[in-house]
């Protein structure tokens, strides 16, 4: 295996051993902030009390609201003169969350990002065009520093200005682009509209992240632009990009467990879910000095993929982000995410664009009803075939969520349409699920 960082070659035992030592150091560092000082004291957690990786669960969870309450500087763990960078969420919904970095933090971050890029075959001979916005948004400077660390010729193009982006790609023979998925689709369509063949551009790799997107969107980006698109995962509270990244096998995102501890919890109870089940991703920094964050609830839903990756790295793989924890429904005591139902439905060619999940209560019992629009050509078929289809959908949904739904097949265009974000769930039960 060609690797950028020796940590990529570590065994599970080596990773675990490093995680325990680094978690101990991180707890010691975090205690220097008043917030974690008090939290950890109340929980009875000291560096010395961390003896196994399971001890991470003794540390209380940290929420986005916790970070907001510490705005602007309640989580700093070094003398302020040691800080060299500040990033902040856009703060579109209230107080922004702020993250501070020391020079050592920036170096670690650049190393992690360079490792991601190296993993998918990017080398110093590549020309890298950063089509993400710079500034407080971590996607710009975060990937920029990684590319520079790797030694790529970096073109800090910034976001937008499609005509100039294409001119830069063409004139400077750009081989790798960092691009937001929706912009990649727009760029591909714009090129085709102008009669250009994007496959003739020198681009060979796109790093796509920052927005949730489907596997179908990725394949369309790859086809339209004639390149390989790799999924990037990060969030500003964990630095930004460079947290988890796909390898060349495009089968899940390796999370860099030498630098983070990743857990999947049940968002309702806060307890670990059984291995491989969907839940909320919780992350702990292991290499950050300026502002360590312990057991941060990302609100992002995913699961650990089972088995070993063909690339040989044992760093566990996260599934692509399946939605937000805030979307979770509890039905008959089981956690269900609308995205799980959607994924099942999209596997049936008979199913149209629209569906609706309706939660009802029947004699104190929860009923999960799924109304599914069927394409006109299938709706014409005889009743037995439709019954068969309904049964197959029912079974497949049950297999995915372990609850048996009532499935209604309805005609195309019969479900309410919505402008913008689709309304996929109606909860008609008396009490809210959470």
In angstroms, rounded to a whole number, what is the distance separating the alpha carbons of residues 422 and 404? Answer: 24
Minimum distance of its own copies from residue 228's CB (angstroms) = 21
In angstroms, rounded to a whole number, what is the distance separating the alpha carbons of residues 398 and 266? Answer: 19
Binds its own copies by CB under 8 A, chosen from 18, 86, 268, 358? 86
Classify residue 290 as exposed, middle or buried by CB count within 10 Å of its CB (0-12, 13-18, 19+): buried
Of 53, 95, 93, 52, the C-alpha closest to 70 is 95
Minimum distance of its own copies from residue 195's CB (angstroms) = 23
In angstroms, rounded to a whole number, what is the distance separating the alpha carbons of residues 244 and 223? Answer: 24
Please state the separation of Cα 302 from the chain's center in Å: 8
**Comparison of 290 and 352: residue with beta carbon closer to its own copies:** 290
Asked whether 297 and 49 are in contact (CB, 8 A), the reply is no
Asked if 140 touches its own copies (CB under 8 A), the answer is: yes
Asked if 270 touches its own copies (CB under 8 A), the answer is: no
Q: Which residues contact 187 (CB under 8 A, 6 or more apart)?
A: 162, 165, 166, 179, 225
Element (H or E) spanning 170, and its range?
A: helix 162-171
Asked if 83 touches its own copies (CB under 8 A), the answer is: yes
Binds its own copies by CB under 8 A, chosen from 158, 212, 226, 270? 158
Binds its own copies by CB under 8 A, chosen from 4, 35, 100, 355? 100
Binding to its own copies in span 335-394, by CB under 8 A: none
Asked whether 157 and 167 are in contact (CB, 8 A), the reply is no
Binds its own copies by CB under 8 A, chosen from 87, 118, 297, 299? 87
Asked if 309 touches its own copies (CB under 8 A), the answer is: no
Asked if 84 touches its own copies (CB under 8 A), the answer is: yes
Asked if 121 touches its own copies (CB under 8 A), the answer is: no
Asked if 152 touches its own copies (CB under 8 A), the answer is: yes
Minimum distance of its own copies from residue 111's CB (angstroms) = 15
385-424 mask for its own copies (x: CB under 8 A)? ----------------------------------------
**Comparison of 121 and 151: residue with beta carbon closer to its own copies:** 151
Minimum distance of its own copies from residue 40's CB (angstroms) = 26
Alpha-carbon distances, residue 380 vs 46, 321, 383, 390, 413 (angstroms): 67, 36, 9, 15, 15
Asked if 202 touches its own copies (CB under 8 A), the answer is: no
**Comparison of 127 and 207: residue with beta carbon closer to its own copies:** 127
Asked if 135 touches its own copies (CB under 8 A), the answer is: yes
**Comparison of 155 and 227: residue with beta carbon closer to its own copies:** 155
Minimum distance of its own copies from residue 115's CB (angstroms) = 17
Asked if 154 touches its own copies (CB under 8 A), the answer is: yes
Minimum distance of its own copies from residue 39's CB (angstroms) = 23
Token pair for 290:
């300026």
Binds its own copies by CB under 8 A, chosen from 47, 60, 162, 172? 172
Number of shown-chain residues binding its own copies (CB under 8 A): 32
Minimum distance of its own copies from residue 164's CB (angstroms) = 8
Binds its own copies by CB under 8 A, chosen from 47, 156, 226, 270? 156
Q: What share of the chain is helix, strand, coil (3-state, %, to 5)?
A: 35, 25, 40
In angstroms, rounded to a whole number, what is the distance separating the alpha carbons of residues 391 and 176? Answer: 46
Minimum distance of its own copies from residue 87's CB (angstroms) = 8
216-235 mask for its own copies (x: CB under 8 A)? --------------------
Token pair for 11:
């065994």
Q: Long-range contacts: 100-106, Cβ < 8 Å, 24+?
A: 100/73, 100/75, 100/76, 100/290, 100/291, 101/239, 101/288, 101/290, 101/291, 102/78, 102/289, 102/290, 104/289, 105/239, 105/287, 105/288, 105/289, 105/290, 105/291, 106/145
Minimum distance of its own copies from residue 103's CB (angstroms) = 7
* 3-state SS, residue 142: helix
Element (H or E) spanning 298, and its range?
A: strand 296-302
Stretch near its own copies under the rule CB under 8 A, chosen from 8-16, 80-88, 202-210, 410-418:
80-88
Binding to its own copies in span 55-74, by CB under 8 A: 71-73
- Binding stretches for its own copies (CB under 8 A): 71-73, 80-87, 100, 103, 106, 124-125, 134-136, 140-141, 148, 151-158, 171-172
């Amino acid at each position: 295996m060609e690797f950028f960082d020796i940590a990529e070659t570590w065994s599970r035992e080596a990773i675990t051993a490093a995680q325990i030592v680094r978690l101990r150091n991180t707890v010691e560092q975090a205690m220097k902030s008043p917030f974690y000082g008090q939290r950890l004291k109340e929980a009875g957690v000291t560096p010395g009390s961390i003896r196994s990786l399971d001890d991470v669960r003794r540390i209380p969870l940290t929420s986005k609201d916790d970070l907001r309450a510490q705005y602007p500087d309640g989580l700093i763990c070094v003398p302020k003169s040691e800080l060299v960078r500040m990033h902040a969420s856009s703060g579109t919904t209230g107080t922004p969350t702020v993250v501070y970095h020391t020079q050592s933090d920036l170096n670690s971050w650049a190393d992690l990002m360079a490792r991601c890029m190296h993993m998918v075959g990017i080398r110093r001979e590549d020309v890298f065009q950063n089509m993400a916005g710079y500034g407080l948004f971590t996607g710009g400077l975060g990937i920029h520093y990684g590319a520079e660390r790797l030694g790529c010729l970096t073109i800090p193009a910034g976001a937008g200005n499609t005509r100039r982006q294409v001119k830069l790609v063409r004139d400077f023979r750009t081989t790798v682009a960092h691009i937001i998925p929706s912009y990649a689709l727009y760029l591909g369509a714009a090129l085709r509209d102008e009669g250009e063949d994007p496959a003739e551009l020198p681009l060979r790799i796109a790093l796509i992240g920052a927005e949730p997107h489907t596997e179908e969107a990725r394949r369309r980006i790859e086809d339209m632009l004639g390149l390989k698109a790799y999924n990037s995962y990060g969030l500003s509270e964990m630095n930004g990009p460079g947290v988890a990244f796909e390898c060349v096998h495009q089968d899940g995102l390796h999370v860099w467990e030498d630098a983070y501890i990743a857990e999947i919890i049940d968002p309702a109870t806060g307890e670990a879910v059984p291995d491989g089940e969907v839940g909320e991703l919780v992350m702990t920094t292991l290499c950050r000095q300026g502002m360590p964050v312990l057991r941060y609830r990302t609100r992002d839903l995913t699961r650990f993929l089972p088995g070993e990756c063909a690339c040989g790295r044992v760093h566990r793989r996260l599934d692509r982000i399946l939605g937000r924890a805030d979307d979770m429904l509890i039905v008959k005591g089981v956690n269900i995410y609308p995205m799980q139902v959607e994924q099942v439905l999209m596997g049936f060619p008979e199913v149209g664009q629209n569906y609706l999940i309706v939660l009802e209560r029947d004699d104190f019992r929860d009923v999960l009803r799924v109304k599914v629009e069927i394409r006109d050509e299938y709706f014409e078929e005889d009743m037995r075939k439709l019954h068969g289809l309904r049964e197959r959908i029912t079974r497949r949904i049950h297999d995915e969520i372990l609850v048996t739904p009532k499935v209604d097949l309805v005609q195309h265009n019969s479900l309410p349409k919505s402008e913008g974000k689709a309304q996929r769930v109606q909860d008609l039960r008396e009490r809210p699920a959470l």
